[in-house]
């Protein structure tokens, strides 16, 4: 693989350990303490937070634990763009993503199919090189899956047109060997009590699989998610594919780690399945 086409780690040593042995130990511990009794049928995707592992790693691990002993050939990771605005949805055009645990190849075929004949989805590097919301999911995937490829998708604009187009394209490429990861945190920098009110709205809408209600709540500001677009794209794709169940696996906030309950960030993991 040409080295210039491999996306290098951007947040190793900040969001998670840069040492491979330490990273593996930390992930193994997070998975060990985040067991769920849920055995979802027809798993299509998970909603997973993307903060530093010390804050949201345990919540994320609940979702990744569901993937053990499963054979997903392709994992499509959808994230918001935190550092760069662009009008569209970027599907990474490199050959792989590197983490301290090694390189994961890009699924070129699925990447091309996502962008094919779309006016808003394109192959490129816009929003990709420094986006932590994609990167932090990859080491977890490396720990629980074998022989898989990834499709990193970054939403430069999370407006309805972009969400709906992405959902439609996802429904065309997803099969029983495909997993979709919607990368998102929830409310940002409210008191714990306010954060809990806002994040419980997201939780309840997901439990009811009320996509329209959740979209309206995001648009009105009743609740927040930096990855509202990825979450809605996953849910709308699931609806198209007649998979209409969502299970909440875990929800918490950054105050449990930092001790600061005046300005917390909310985290949630959920499974979307048939």
pLDDT digits (tens, 9 = 90+) for 104-130: 999 999 999 999 999 999 999 999 999
What is the distance, to the nearest Å, from the Cα of residue 247 to the centroid of all Cα atoms in its chain? 15
Mean pLDDT of 224-247: 98
Angle between helix 211-220 and 228-240 (nearest 10):
160
The model's pLDDT over 133-161, given as tens digits with 9 standing for 90+, comes to 999 999 999 999 999 999 999 999 999 99
Name the band, by pLDDT with cuts 50, 70 and 90, for residue 4.
Answer: low
pLDDT above 70 covers a percentage of the chain that reads: 99
Distance CA 40, CA 214 (A): 22
Element (H, E) at 161: helix 160-173
Nearest to 98 by CA among 45, 47, 155, 142: 142
Cβ–Cβ under 8 Å, residues 251 and 266: yes
Query: Domains of the chain by range and CATH?
Result: 3-273 (3.40.830.10)
Distance CA 272, CA 66 (A): 11
Cβ–Cβ under 8 Å, residues 162 and 88: yes
Distance CA 267, CA 192 (A): 12
Instruction: Give the SS3 label for residue 188.
Output: strand
pTM for the predicted model, two decimal places = 0.97
Cβ–Cβ under 8 Å, residues 199 and 248: no
Find all residues with CB under 8 Å of 220, minimum gap 6, and list them. Answer: none
β partners of residue 6: 96
pLDDT at position 1 is 41
Mean pLDDT of 15-33: 98
């Amino acid at each position: 693989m040409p080295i210039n086409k491999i996306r290098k780690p951007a947040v190793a040593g900040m969001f998670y350990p840069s040492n491979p042995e330490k990273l593996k130990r930390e992930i193994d511990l997070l998975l060990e303490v985040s067991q769920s009794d849920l055995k979802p049928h027809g798993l299509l995707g998970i909603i997973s937070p993307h903060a530093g592992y010390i804050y949201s790693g345990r919540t994320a691990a609940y979702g990744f634990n569901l993937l053990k002993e499963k054979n997903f050939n392709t994992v499509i990771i959808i994230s918001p763009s935190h550092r760069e605005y662009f009008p569209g949805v970027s599907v990474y055009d490199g050959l792989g993503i590197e983490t301290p645990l090694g390189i994961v190849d890009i699924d070129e075929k699925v990447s091309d199919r996502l962008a094919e004949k779309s006016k808003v989805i394109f192959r490129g590097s816009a929003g990709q090189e420094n986006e932590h919301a994609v990167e932090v999911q990859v080491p977890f995937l490396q720990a629980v899956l074998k022989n898989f490829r990834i499709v990193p998708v970054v939403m430069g604009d999370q407006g309805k047109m972009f969400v709906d187009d992405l959902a439609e394209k996802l429904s065309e490429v997803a099969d029983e060997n495909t997993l979709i990861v919607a990368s998102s945190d929830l409310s940002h920098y409210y008191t714990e009590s306010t954060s809990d009110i806002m994040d419980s709205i997201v939780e309840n809408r997901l439990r009811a699989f009320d996509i329209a209600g959740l979209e309206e709540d995001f648009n009105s500001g009743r609740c927040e998610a930096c990855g509202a677009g990825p979450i809605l794209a996953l849910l709308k794709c699931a609806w198209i594919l007649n998979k209409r169940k969502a299970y909440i696996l875990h929800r918490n906030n950054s105050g449990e780690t930092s001790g600061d309950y005046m300005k917390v960030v909310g985290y949630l993991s959920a499974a979307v399945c048939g």
